[in-house]
Amino acid sequence: MAITTVDERLDITGKICPYTLIETREALKALRQGQVLEVLVDFEPAAMVTIPNFCAKKGYPFQTFVNDGVGWRIRIERTD
């Protein structure tokens, strides 16, 4: 299922772990159940491992997109 609606955006380009995960987690806490956060990130370990592992652990559906060759966009739905 494609996540098409975005409620909030978080730009963490230029940041590295653990700050990428900390800021993503804090932004998700501010959302209500069913809302979607779009994260803009250019640090590959965060985009491919850290944030996806966090989402899987929490049970949050997510999708990762290449962002015009400069980083990634990760859409995360808060489900709790």
Which residues are known to be catalytic?
Answer: 17
Looking at residue 63, what DSSP letter applies? E
Contacts of 12 (CB under 8 A, 6+ apart): 19, 20, 23, 24, 39, 40, 41, 43, 46
